Homo-oligomer: A and B are copies of this chain.
Amino acid sequence: MQDLTDRSNTVVGMPTDAPMHTRVHASEELRQVALEQFATVGFAASSLQQIADHAGYSKSSVLYHYASKEALLEAAIEPAIDAMESLVADFVAGGRSVAGRTVFIERFVDFLLGHRLAVHTFVNQGQSLRGIPVIERAIVAIRALADSMCEADAPLGERLRFGIALGGAVYTLVADATFLDEEHRTVVDAADIRAALIAVLSELLLPADGRTTR
């Protein structure tokens, strides 16, 4: 996933023995690599050395672009939190009706597809990252989403549905996709995944007529 607007190296002459990686935006590249590491092996297990190696930089370079490992995490997942906050704001504005929920589910799936790594990071590692400001923001946003999704009178069944939808979708989009498929790599179309996710989440989050959640 790299946009190579590179223009300096067209393999003509240039007998440059040095690697001399003229990158486009180093900070963007580092942010992406770090996000993949955080999501797949975890924040604590991701060392700056690994991230730097994976991106082709030195550890010092990482700390030049980002003041600390925490700052790197912040930069990596902040866009996703912004998107989630606007998502819940729109949902609250749109109302809890079936129509409003239907619109929400579609946007929610698009949000998950667009920020799957970041969401997986703060959803499944939020516990170990308490205290980091951006994580607290994420937790607040998740709680706000859950609260707006279901009122307090029918907490157990509805809240459980939302939790399963959130955790399940994130799992299928990251963990499951990376170690369950892996062999029968039928190159599934992204649009198919989107449609199937919307279908299942609609089942979970839209009030069906006959349901025994009491």
Contacts and interface: CB of A to CB of B under 8 A. Distances in A.
Contact of A42 (B42, B142, B175, B212): B42
Contacts of A192: 156
A142 B45 CA distance: 23
A213 B196 contact: yes
Q: For chain A, what secondary structure do more than half of its interface residues adopt (helix, strand, loop), or is it mixed?
A: helix
A18 interface: no
Chain A interface category by residue count? 35 or more
Given A41-B44, A45-B45, A160-B197, 20 more contacts: A40-B128, A41-B128, A42-B42, A102-B214, A124-B171, A124-B175, A126-B179, A127-B179, A142-B180, A157-B199, A157-B200, A160-B172, A164-B165, A164-B169, A166-B176, A167-B171, A168-B168, A171-B171, A202-B213, A203-B203
Interface of A: 40-45, 102, 123-128, 130, 139, 142-143, 146, 152, 155-157, 159-161, 163-172, 175-176, 178-180, 184, 186, 188, 192-193, 196-200, 202-204, 206, 211-214
